[in-house]
Amino acid sequence: MKKIALLFVATLMCGIVQGQESQRQRLEQHLFTLASDSLRGREAGTDDSRRAADYIARQWSEMGLKPLFGNSYQWPFRLVTMDYTNLVAVIEGNDPALKNEYIVIGAHYDHIGVKNGKIHNGADDNASGSSCAIEVARQLLARQKELKRSVIICAFDGEEKGLFGSKDFVNRHNDIIGNVKLMMSVDMVGWYRANGCLELEGTKTIKNSEQLLSPELLGIDIKVQFKPFENSLMTATDTEPFATAGIPTLAVTTGLKSPYHKPEDDAELIDYEGLDRITDYIVAITIATSRHEGKLGSGRLSPKHHTKHFEAALAAGFNTCHLSFPEATFKGKSYYGLLGGLMLQYNFNKYIGLRTGALYDYSHAPLPAANDAFGKGYAIEQQSVLVPLTLQLGIHSSGMYLFIGLGMYYGYAFDGRYYGDVPATTESYKLSCDPNQYGLTFNFGLRIGGHWQLDGTWYSPQFDLFDTASGMPVARKKNYTVTLGYWF
């Protein structure tokens, strides 16, 4: 009987200890799980990533978090040939006038997987943010009565491959996006001590941010650096699709002090005391912004996010070129050439844009001999600068941008010559070819992940290549180009 009593007491004490498990201990548990070798770096679209999503969903389910829609947290989506999954939950606010407005807290759970045979566990990037968001949700659920606006918790997939998850969220439900008043992306928050502070990027997108976000006024012992806007053109987090939709955003981070995208980014290196403070602080600012009855947005966006109206790209590719002869019944053979340069585009809205640029074009094409139209003949070689001007029409879908364009172009041929079996009577190419060239263009293509774009363009000339006084036949140089571009 005594042994049974002791066993009962021991079991009871164990339950009490488990029930008193601290937030810091839970953060450590989440992080060591999500950044374990067994998940092999959580590459988006893989079984490893799906197992990470299952872990987060179990944590949400055990604490009683409600799905935003239906009975499942999962929002699957497909991009090209890969399947991805966002997880989305909601904590409802209590104010009748504000509960249909939302604060969104997002953290991507995917990482880059296995590279060169080495597992990249991504403890800081972004098991830290995912773990933090789990505990933020737990605290907000316990303090739900303090919320006026509702809070959406998102675990995004596919961030590393091009912000796929957050883009799908924004593109899928315009009714929700129209009521989102603030979005916070919790991305790489595990190195507070090394960084010396927590960074909030985008504070100027929020009205009265100094008061709403002040650690002192919120009673949180944490050092925070306010940055008015996100500035880096070479990095992005899940704030970007929300910001380009006109929503105030905060990128919450401890910076790039950790072994970013390296195999050494492991759970043992995380500052758990700092992560614990950051979790409390995010909870505090979420409650403060949910209770703010005035307008949250300042109407200002980061210049980085404004650049989605104005985009630039570096492009390179190849062309096929041939000569057509309107007065004859045949066309010349096609030869390959090269091109590359800068493209610029101004987007009036998400569907219509105006594109221009400057492309160096090297092309060459055979010119049949007068005495043997179908023989080897000789060829022309030309170097020129092409300046297209096209109206682009496009649609966005699941991280992809499909488009077509119609317009015109101007080309200046600054160098050219004949080569091959050139007749002795042929004059200098520069003297016989008009350097000012122009015509119509038609292009189509696909952009994936917001940056990489494959583009095909027809150049249909509206000029005669040779001066009629040269004695050369009426000819037109037609190009078809294929380019790969990276848009900033």
pLDDT of residue 13: 39
Confidence grade of residue 429 (pLDDT, cut at 50, 70, 90)? low
Q: Are 260 and 206 in contact (CB under 8 A)?
A: no
Residue pair 34/55 in contact (Cβ under 8 Å)? The answer is: yes
pLDDT higher than 80, residue 373: no
What is the rounded CA–CA span in Å between residue 453 and residue 403? 10
Residue 76 has a pLDDT of 95
Q: N- to C-terminal Cα distance for the chain?
A: 74
List CB contacts of 389: < 8 A, sequence separation 6 or more: 354, 355, 356, 407, 408, 409
pLDDT band per the 50, 70, 90 thresholds, residue 379: confident
Q: What percent of the chain has pLDDT over 90?
A: 66
Q: Which fold has domain 309-487?
A: Porin (2.40.160)
Residue 311 has a pLDDT of 86
Q: What is the pTM of this model?
A: 0.67
Instruction: Pick the range with the lowest mean pLDDT from 156-160, 250-254, 267-271, 411-415.
Output: 411-415
- Summarize the confidence of residues 207-234 as an average pLDDT: 90
| pLDDT at residue 352 tops 70 | yes
Q: 37 or 418: which carries more pLDDT confidence? A: 37
**Percent residues over pLDDT 70 in the chain:** 85
Task: Give 432-452 pLDDT, tens digit per residue.
Answer: 677 888 999 999 999 886 789
Q: Does residue 468 surpass a pLDDT of 80?
A: no
Confidence check: pLDDT of 152 > 80: yes
Who wins on pLDDT, 95 or 418? 95
DSSP states of 76-112 as a string? Answer: EEEETTEEEEEEEEEE----TTTTTSEEEEEEE--B-
Q: Residue 19's pLDDT band (boundaries 50, 70, 90)?
A: very low
Rounded mean pLDDT, 230-259: 89
Whole-angstrom distance, CA of residue 394 vs CA of residue 389: 16
pLDDT at 25 over 90: yes
Domain covering 18-299: architecture? 3-Layer(aba) Sandwich (3.40)
Strand 198-201 relative to strand 249-253, pairing: antiparallel
In which residue are the tokens 């807290």 written? 105
Extents of the domains making up the chain: 18-299, 309-487
Of 6-10, 177-181, 368-372, 382-386, the range with the lowest mean pLDDT is 6-10
- pLDDT at residue 210 is higher than 80: yes
ω into residue 349 within 30 of 0, thus cis?
no
Is the Cα dihedral 150, 156, 160, 162 positive or negative? negative
Domains 18-299 and 309-487 share a fold: no
pLDDT of 246 strictly over 80: yes
pLDDT in tens, 285-305: 999 999 999 899 998 887 667
d(CA 86, CA 326): 57
Would you say residue 453 has pLDDT above 50?
yes
Of 14-23, 245-254, 396-405, the range with the highest mean pLDDT is: 245-254
Q: Report the relative pairing of strands 198-201 and 224-227 from DSSP bridges.
A: parallel
Cα 259 → chain centroid: 22
Three-state SS letters, 402-449: EEEEEEEEEEEEEEEEEEECCCCCCCCHHHHECCEEEEEEEEEEEEEC
CA-to-CA distance for 51 and 58, rounded, in angstroms?
A: 11
pLDDT of residue 5: 41
Q: What is the pLDDT of residues 42-96, one digit of tens each?
A: 999 999 999 999 999 999 999 999 999 899 999 999 988 899 999 999 999 999 9
Reference 485, options 458, 459, 441, 446; nearest CA is 446
Provide the pLDDT for residue 233: 56
